[in-house]
Amino acid sequence: MENTSFYRTIWRWHFYASLFVMPLVLVLATTGAIYVFKPQLDRWEERAFSNLSTQQAVSPNAQLAVVMDAHPGAQFHSYRLPARDGDAAMIHIGLADGRYMRDVYVSPQGKVLGSIDPESRISATVSRIHGSLLIGKMGDWIVELAACWAIVMILTGLYMCWPRGQGLRGVVWPRLAKGNQVFLRDLHAVTGFWVSGLALILLTTGLPWASVWGDAFRLVRAELGLVQGAQDWKTSSHGPHAEHDHDAMMKMQAAGIPLIGLADMVAKAQLEKLPHPVLVKPPGEPERFGPPTPMAWTIKSEAQNRPLNRSISFDVATGKELSRTGFADKHVVDRAVNYGIAWHEGQLFGWINQLVAVLTALGLITLVLSGFMMWRRRKPVDALGAPIAPAVPQKIRGVVVIIGVLAILLPLLAVSLLVLWLFDRLLLPRLPAFAIWLGIRPVQVT
């Protein structure tokens, strides 16, 4: 079986895909394993603002006034209810310069305890590494491209290690008595067999955030009218901070309209028993990645376990409930994406989800390290060490079909394949020594 043209072609695809994504898989697996503990990391960073006295507590209105006095010209974006008795409230503001945000922590007695730049949080930094390698749009494209080729790597690797009548040893469990070389090969194959499905789920559930795939999905979702309403997850080109209509409430006050205050909304939010974090957003503050609500207060949960979230809006003048939406009210497409995002972030099933995510990340790291060691052992000194190309390429139409389907589903993969094809046709014939080192037979220049 291993001498067939199809198998050897799959092996070559697996080799080149793996060689490209190995460093990035290490980065993504490591940062992903850290990020699934975002709730614990955020709680640890906020440890100085917990276990406070609740004696002589003041109203949320007074807390907000103290924060705004301490930050002249700032814009009020949201009030986060304390998760537990004795925790500080968190008031999210935009600074007067219009460029930066702050999470300001205020005690039950109305004293400002400190603030955190939300972009400097551990979880936020890890997220930026995971999503864009800290280099912006270019990094986002690189990560998305790596995810596309990682899918190719996993599918080809799964085909190669799949049992073919020779038993389950070396596929489902390793052969321990066959020496180090066989054990290394089995470690790679067995890990790949068990981790492939979970890794594919992680990769595909991360695509809605990606720049190219996410924007294409957003176009199909909204512009073609398949799903109504704004999506509640961001892509890299659509950040989390929409424009804030700071003057909305001030205009209503100037018009003599009596307004319901923050304290009233906090009281209503406390009665709802929503999962933490629970935010109270003022009139003019946009919904998550959506348009502003100039005439309504909004109470909502923004828990990472998205199926638990609900959002309730109240009339700014009367406090009357205007709307109430929950996960069940979303379109089936949005529900599926949000289930995937919650799983990807390790929050769908609590600590079990976190454990599975960490084990998947460790499996991917094991695949990368074992694959690298196998490659170094067989790599010639004067060549890249790619598997020998099949002698009968006309018998590998199945590979072309599989890659073609993946290219349709993954636009950035299609672009990279086009670039590789042009490289193979236009440059490699003029670089015969480099082509030989790569293990590719260059097309002859005519």
Per-residue model confidence as pLDDT tens digits over 225-240: 666 666 777 766 554 4
Higher pLDDT, 220 or 165: 220
User: How far apart are the C-alpha atoms of 9 and 98, rounded to whole Å?
Assistant: 55
In Å, how far are 10, 173, 277, 386, 426 from 383, measured between CA atoms?
20, 33, 55, 8, 21
User: How far apart are the C-alpha atoms of 109 and 222, rounded to whole Å?
Assistant: 46
pLDDT of res. 301: 96
User: How far apart are the C-alpha atoms of 237 and 87, rounded to whole Å?
Assistant: 35
pLDDT of res. 441: 67
pLDDT of res. 396: 63
Dihedral angle computed from the Cα positions of residues 314, 319, 322 and 327, in that order, rounded to the nearest 10 degrees: 40
In Å, how far are 78, 80, 243, 273, 336 from 301, measured between CA atoms?
12, 10, 20, 10, 19
| Alpha helices (runs of H) in 93-177, residue ranges in sequence order | 122-132, 136-161
Q: Could you tell me the pTM of the whole model?
A: 0.88
The separation between the first and the last C-alpha atoms of the chain, rounded to the nearest angstrom, is 36
Residue 443 pLDDT more than 60? Answer: no
Residue 446 pLDDT more than 60? Answer: no
DSSP state of 36: T
- Characterize the bridge pairing of strands 112-116 and 278-281: unpaired
Q: Averaged over 250-257, what is the pLDDT? A: 53
pLDDT of res. 300: 95
Per-residue model confidence as pLDDT tens digits over 133-191: 999 999 999 999 999 999 999 999 998 888 776 678 878 888 887 888 889 999 999 99
- With H, G, I as helix, E, B as strand and everything else as coil, classify residue 146: helix
Q: What is the pLDDT of the chain when averaged over all its residues?
A: 87
Q: Averaged over 431-444, what is the pLDDT? A: 79
Task: Work out the pLDDT band at 1, boundaries 50, 70, 90.
Answer: very low
User: How far apart are the C-alpha atoms of 60 and 363, rounded to whole Å?
Assistant: 47
The type of residue at 325 is T
pLDDT of res. 164: 72
Q: Which tokens belong to 362?
A: 């460790």
User: How far apart are the C-alpha atoms of 68 and 62, rounded to whole Å?
Assistant: 10
Q: How many CB atoms lie within 10 A of CB 240?
A: 11
Where along the chain do its domains lie? 5-36+126-210+350-438, 46-124, 241-344
**Range scoring the smallest mean pLDDT among 34-43, 164-173, 220-229:** 220-229
Q: How far is CA 297 from the centre of its chain?
A: 29
Rounded to the nearest 5 degrees, what angle is found at the Cα of 180, between the Cα atoms of 13 and 439? 25
- With H, G, I as helix, E, B as strand and everything else as coil, classify residue 80: strand
Residue 2 pLDDT more than 50? Answer: no
Burial class of residue 32, CB neighbours in 10 A (0-12, 13-18, 19+):
buried
- With H, G, I as helix, E, B as strand and everything else as coil, classify residue 270: helix
Matching CATH number, 46-124, of 3.10.180.10, 3.10.450.40, 3.20.190.10, 2.160.20.10: 3.10.450.40
Task: Work out the pLDDT band at 388, boundaries 50, 70, 90.
Answer: confident
Q: Averaged over 67-82, what is the pLDDT? A: 95
